[in-house]
Amino acid sequence: MATAKFRIWRGDARSGKFQDYTVEISAGMVVLDAVHEIQATQAQDLGVRWNCKAGKCGSCSAEINGHPRLMCMTRLSQLPLEQPVTIEPMRAFPLVKDLVTDVSWNFRVKEKIRPFRPRPADAADGTWRMDQSDVDRVQEFRKCIECFLCQDVCHVLREHHLHEQFIGPRILVHSAALEMHPLDTENRLGDLKRTQGIGYCNITKCCTKVCPEEIKITDNAIIPLKERVVDEFYDPLTRLFRVFR
């Protein structure tokens, strides 16, 4: 039976190193299968977070050969197996153990986003009317599985560690889903500019490239939000037009 070598990061926030494991592989295997095999037969204390094994829970995010990816959605047949496959934890978040990182920062930041505030109901029975085409635009953002790979690859968080000033692409997508919703009346643009650091994004599109749900994060969420911030704060003609409208 064919084998493949895996080089997995073992350790915690204080120290760690790569350790090699050899696994028998078969057709259709994904990286998470190999990690489970290693956990079952060679390293029972290997820390790894997973849940659905179907690319929908967003738990098994890691860096495979340097690319932020879901382990359960990365087939071994996609990888060059003549060299060891490196598996590392996400770098933008504190390491707990081995492949497990503490992503709770994302949820704490998400709580700071102003919640959905719908306009008064359209009908007497307290319901609203929306056109499907208007909902479609924000529906794309609802596909997010919160794997936080986009946060991991974003250099503002990953390299510059500006977690206190910048909310990152995932939370910007969440904000866009609310801000562009046809029923929502809340204004989040001031927060985006002042405390959530949308100006830190320099549109490298790395977040879009790693999204397993293929959400066009930059084109459909971040740039439209940036343009709305320009409307509100940087475009004198638009502001003048608003005065006379």
Partner 1 sequence: MPDIDVPLVGGRFGRTSRRDLWWVQPLVVLLVLSGFVIYATWAAFQGNHYRFGPYLSPFYSPELWGNPLTAWIGGRPGWYPSWLIFSPALFILPFPAGFRLTCYYYRGAYYKAFWADPPSCAVGEPPRSYRGERSFPLILQNVHRYFLYIALLFIADLAYDAWNGFWFDGHFGMGVGSVVLLVNVILLGGYTLGCHALRHRVGGVLDRLAGARLRKRTYDCVSCLTGQHMTWAWCSLLWVAFTDLYVRLCSMGVWHDWRIF
Q: Which residues contact partner 1 (rule: CB under 8 A)?
A: 13, 63, 65-68, 80, 83, 86, 88, 91-95, 102, 105, 108-109, 112, 131, 133-134, 153, 155-156, 158-167, 180-182, 184, 195-197, 199-206, 209-210, 216, 218-219, 223-224, 227-228, 230-231, 234-235
In the complex, the smallest distance separating the C-beta of residue 54 from partner 1, rounded to whole angstroms, is: 25
> Residues 7, 18: contact at Cβ < 8 Å?
yes
In the complex, the smallest distance separating the C-beta of residue 237 from partner 1, rounded to whole angstroms, is: 8
In the complex, the smallest distance separating the C-beta of residue 30 from partner 1, rounded to whole angstroms, is: 19
Residues 6+ apart with CB under 8 A from 37: 23, 24
In the complex, the smallest distance separating the C-beta of residue 40 from partner 1, rounded to whole angstroms, is: 25
Closer residue to partner 1 (CB): 52 or 161: 161
In the complex, the smallest distance separating the C-beta of residue 206 from partner 1, rounded to whole angstroms, is: 4
Residues 6+ apart with CB under 8 A from 179: 186, 188, 189, 225, 228
State whether residue 43 is helix, strand or coil: coil
Structure token digits, residue 40: 């079952």
Closer residue to partner 1 (CB): 40 or 203: 203
In the complex, the smallest distance separating the C-beta of residue 50 from partner 1, rounded to whole angstroms, is: 21
Structure token digits, residue 115: 């919640």
Residue 21 burial (10 A CB sphere; 0-12, 13-18, 19+): buried
* 87 DSSP β-pair partners: 8, 64
Closer residue to partner 1 (CB): 15 or 44: 15
State whether residue 163 is helix, strand or coil: coil
Closer residue to partner 1 (CB): 44 or 120: 120
Closer residue to partner 1 (CB): 1 or 80: 80
Closer residue to partner 1 (CB): 145 or 153: 153
Structure token digits, residue 243: 């005065």
* 154 DSSP β-pair partners: none
